Chains A and B, each alone.
Chain A
Amino acid sequence: MSGSHLHSAALMGTVVNIQVVRTADQALDRLAPDAIERAMNWFRTVESSCNRFDPSSEVRQLSRQIGVAVPVSAILFEAVQFALAVAEESDGAFDPTVGVAMEEHGFDREYQSGASTASGVRERGTVKYRDVGLDVDARTITLQKPLLLDLSAVAKGLAIDLAARELASYGHFAVDAGGDLYAAGLNPHARPWSVGIRHPRETDQCIEIVQLSNAAMCTSGDYERRRPADDGGHHILDARTRESPAAVASATVIARSAMVADALATAAFVLGPADGVQLLERSGVMGVMFTPGLERFSTTGMAGAAIFPNA
């Protein structure tokens, strides 16, 4: 066994673990810690663009400019563009304009300090993803109404993808951000990465195990990020009702990209088992969902292994 370079850091509201399998190329191997640090920095970069809890973030600055085409970074543009695409695809069940609704449900605090970071955005009437305009050529975003974007379902996946790109030359590595992850190549035992799906009720156990190579796996669960109000709700809202959906306990998606897997896991979670699986099938990804009663729903392509060729 050849071992790995390992590094953990607390980033983007979770603990990020990066593991790079040691390579026989000693020059490359020696540079691995630096590459890992650069990979970690992508999480900081994405967070500075997309973190709705940080008043100085790009997404918060955007919410202060209503009706104006605002030039934004490539990262924010990519995150918003993809979130809107998934909103369209899920018929608005998933919708990144739920930022204010999330604040109303108590997700308005910087938990490290306990200080309120509420945006102060006052919505007028209902807001929907169609109130966000994009100009691809000018790379601008226009908020047609006062609203706050919540990019929590795409930002972490985007950061994982960027970190993975940073490490691509190593071929064999894993980027894990608190249970959303990308696994490249083979593990230190020269086998595909073995990734468990957390049991949504016995959360110290796995409900099933999948072999991954060059694939991302992301899970949305009702057991994560319980609401501060402690009223049985959780951190995922159905944008159409502004309530937490209750039909799904966890939704896991496997895709080539973590951003795709992350967003579609959330969208499938909101849509419920039947429509959720349909969405995943349509999108050409694999997925498995469990209801609170542990009934299992999956795409036809969902198998015990997702081994993709190197991108």
Chain B
Amino acid sequence: MIPAPPESGPPPVMPEPPAVPTVTLEPLKKVRTEKVQKRANPKTVAAEVPALVAVTPAPAVAAEPAAVPATTAPTVEPKPVEPPVPPKPLLKDGTYSGWGTSRHGDIQATVVIENGRIASAYIAQCLTRYSCSWIAGIVPQVVQRQSAEVDYVSGATQSTNAFYYAVLEALSKAK
């Protein structure tokens, strides 16, 4: 399916790693190298997965030290996870409102911050030519679901939506 490029000879599908950009992009270069290797054996990824699933052991940095088997010789005395310093909440807890504007009208969003994180966001008022019900469909995307079943949801962003900017304005008040 890859047509030979008309003007240049070599048809490498991905570029060579950049010669010497900044150190900042190091991990990306690694990825690219790895991609090239994987291309040689497209089954690699699929083949790796079950094996690695089986292997996934206790985490190196144990999230729950109690779960680490006593038989393993711990290099570091497992300290009780008792973080005395609560994380500095970068958003202040509370309820905030903001307006977002688009050519199609304005939306007022209300955002609730709990423990420094967006707990919920909803439309308080909707003065657009879109129906409120259509806009309501995108609201859950702002708030990550925090059920036990799903940590995150891969989906879509709504950057051109007035609701996003209403949330943004509300968030700016929470700083």
Instruction: Please determine whether B43 and A301 come into contact, CB atoms closer than 8 angstroms.
Output: yes
Nearest to B142 among chain A residues (CB) is: A15
Instruction: Please determine whether A179 and B154 come into contact, CB atoms closer than 8 angstroms.
Output: yes
Q: Is A125 part of the binding interface, using a Cβ–Cβ cutoff of 8 Å? A: no
Closest CB pairs A-B (n = 3): A224-B156, A13-B159, A198-B155
Instruction: Please determine whether B171 and A9 come into contact, CB atoms closer than 8 angstroms.
Output: yes
Instruction: Please determine whether A7 and B117 come into contact, CB atoms closer than 8 angstroms.
Output: yes
Instruction: Please determine whether A183 and B90 come into contact, CB atoms closer than 8 angstroms.
Output: no
Q: Is B157 part of the binding interface, using a Cβ–Cβ cutoff of 8 Å? A: yes
Instruction: Please determine whether A174 and B159 come into contact, CB atoms closer than 8 angstroms.
Output: no
Q: How far does the Cβ of B134 sit from chain A's closest Cβ, in whole Å?
A: 9
Instruction: Please determine whether B142 and A223 come into contact, CB atoms closer than 8 angstroms.
Output: no
Q: How far does the Cβ of A229 sit from chain B's closest Cβ, in whole Å?
A: 10
Binds B, one of A28-36, A58-66, A239-247: A28-36
Instruction: Please determine whether B3 and A91 come into contact, CB atoms closer than 8 angstroms.
Output: yes
Question: What are the interface flags for B143-175 relative to A under an 8 Å C-beta threshold, 1 for contact and 0 otherwise?
Answer: 011001111111111111110110110011000
Instruction: Please determine whether B157 and A14 come into contact, CB atoms closer than 8 angstroms.
Output: yes
Question: What are the interface flags for B87-121 relative to A under an 8 Å C-beta threshold, 1 for contact and 0 otherwise?
Answer: 11011000000001111100000000001111000
Among A89, A190, A223, which residue has its beta carbon within 8 angstroms of that of B58?
A: A190
Q: Is B73 part of the binding interface, using a Cβ–Cβ cutoff of 8 Å? A: no
Q: Is B60 part of the binding interface, using a Cβ–Cβ cutoff of 8 Å? A: yes
Instruction: Please determine whether B63 and A172 come into contact, CB atoms closer than 8 angstroms.
Output: yes
Residues of B within 8 A of A162 (CB): 24-25
Q: How far apart are the CA atoms of A114 and B99 in the complex, in Å?
A: 13
Name A's B-contacting residues (CB within 8 A): 1-3, 5-10, 12-15, 17, 21-26, 29-30, 32-33, 36-37, 74-75, 77-78, 81-82, 84-85, 88-89, 91, 107, 109, 111-114, 130, 136-137, 139, 158, 161-162, 164-165, 168, 170-172, 174, 176-181, 183, 185-190, 192-198, 203-204, 206, 209, 211, 213, 217-221, 223-226, 228, 230, 235, 250, 252, 255-257, 259-260, 275, 278-279, 281-286, 300-301, 303, 305-311
Instruction: Please determine whether B156 and A188 come into contact, CB atoms closer than 8 angstroms.
Output: no
Instruction: Please determine whether B83 and A29 come into contact, CB atoms closer than 8 angstroms.
Output: yes
Instruction: Please determine whether A181 and B116 come into contact, CB atoms closer than 8 angstroms.
Output: no
Given known A-B contacts A136-B19, A307-B53, A209 and B157 have beta carbons under 8 A apart: no
Instruction: Please determine whether B61 and A183 come into contact, CB atoms closer than 8 angstroms.
Output: no
Residues of B within 8 A of A180 (CB): 154, 157
What band does the interface of chain B fall in when counting residues whose beta carbon is under 8 Å from A?
35 or more
A130, A252, A256 — which one has the most chain B CB atoms within 10 A of its CB?
A: A256
Residues of B within 8 A of A303 (CB): 46, 49-50
B7, B65, B79, B141 — which one has the most chain A CB atoms within 10 A of its CB?
A: B141
Instruction: Please determine whether A204 and B157 come into contact, CB atoms closer than 8 angstroms.
Output: no
Given known A-B contacts A8-B118, A26-B79, A75-B24, A81 and B58 have beta carbons under 8 A apart: no
Residues of A within 8 A of B5 (CB): 88
Given known A-B contacts A6-B117, A75-B24, A219-B156, A32 and B167 have beta carbons under 8 A apart: no
Q: How far does the Cβ of B21 sit from chain A's closest Cβ, in whole Å?
A: 4
Extra contacts, 8 of them, besides A7-B117, A17-B118, A283-B35 (Cβ < 8 A), are A13-B157, A77-B18, A111-B165, A196-B154, A217-B154, A284-B38, A303-B49, A307-B53
Nearest to A253 among chain B residues (CB) is: B154
Q: How far apart are the CA atoms of A282 and B45 in the complex, in Å?
A: 12
A30, A89, A162, A179 — which one has the most chain B CB atoms within 10 A of its CB?
A: A179
A-B contact pairs, 28 of them (CB 8 A): A6-B116, A8-B118, A9-B90, A13-B164, A26-B83, A30-B85, A33-B90, A81-B15, A82-B15, A91-B1, A112-B165, A172-B59, A178-B156, A178-B159, A179-B157, A181-B154, A185-B59, A190-B62, A197-B155, A206-B153, A220-B156, A225-B156, A250-B155, A257-B28, A306-B49, A307-B52, A309-B52, A310-B60
